[in-house]
């Protein structure tokens, strides 16, 4: 790798970090304006959710769908098989699907029922296919970046829900240490995400 290539790679990483920071700040401002309970807003901010353009009415069911013992892990927006805009919210126990303009009909899927998670990446978007019980659930047109994060979280938490992850506490401790290195500027966001995926085996 030449000096120019190295400089280009560093510049690209710096640009990506800047864009992620900008996107994050915009998302935090938007989430803070939502008419949701403070605990849910904090969970969404802590999870780094940024793909969020549903309004207060669309998101209202989250207040009752997310139980006290649940924590939002990630969320993203896509289109279901009926061409409806949906928001998928993955908690540590359930996958909650909200439909835009149909806020009184959230679909709640216990993560213990999930059998597989398949993500297909297109040029700009991701397509998520879930096998839930004996049926398939397909969501397409998910922004590519949040699609990958959402798929990783669903995989991780359905494994934990089904008792396949006995080393979770140890993994959590390793990730906390990595996060400290990220906060100190020792790791880049890309390095942090890559190491986190390796720890979680996803």
Counting residues of the chain whose pLDDT is more than 70, the rounded percentage is: 83
* Calpha distance 83→172 (Å, rounded): 37
- Is this structure's pTM higher than 0.95? no
The string of pLDDT tens digits covering residues 36-85 is: 999 999 999 999 898 888 989 999 999 999 998 899 999 999 999 999 99
Q: Could you tell me how many residues make up the chain?
A: 202
The string of pLDDT tens digits covering residues 100-132 is: 887 677 999 999 999 899 999 888 899 999 999
Please, what is the end-to-end C-alpha distance for the chain in angstroms? 29
Q: Mean pLDDT highest for which of 126-130, 184-188, 198-202?
A: 126-130
């Amino acid at each position: 790798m030449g000096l120019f290539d190295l400089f280009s790679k560093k510049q690209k990483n710096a640009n990506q970090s800047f864009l992620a920071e900008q996107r994050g700040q915009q998302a935090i401002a938007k989430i803070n304006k939502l008419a949701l309970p403070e605990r849910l807003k904090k969970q969404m901010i802590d999870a780094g959710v940024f793909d969020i353009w549903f309004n207060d009415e669309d998101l209202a069911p989250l207040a009752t769908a997310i139980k006290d013992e649940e924590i939002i892990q990630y969320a993203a927006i896509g289109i279901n098989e009926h061409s409806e805009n949906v928001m998928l919210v993955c908690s540590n126990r359930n996958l909650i699907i909200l439909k835009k303009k149909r806020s009184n009909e959230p679909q709640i899927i216990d993560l213990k029922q999930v059998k597989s998670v398949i993500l297909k990446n297109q040029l700009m978007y991701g397509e998520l296919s879930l096998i839930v019980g004996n049926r398939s659930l397909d969501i397409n047109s998910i922004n590519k970046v949040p699609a990958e994060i959402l798929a990783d979280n669903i995989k991780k938490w359905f494994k934990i829900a089904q008792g396949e992850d006995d080393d979770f506490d140890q993994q959590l401790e390793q990730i906390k240490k990595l996060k400290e290195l990220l906060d100190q500027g020792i790791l880049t966001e890309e390095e942090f995400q890559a190491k986190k995926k390796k720890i979680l085996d996803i």
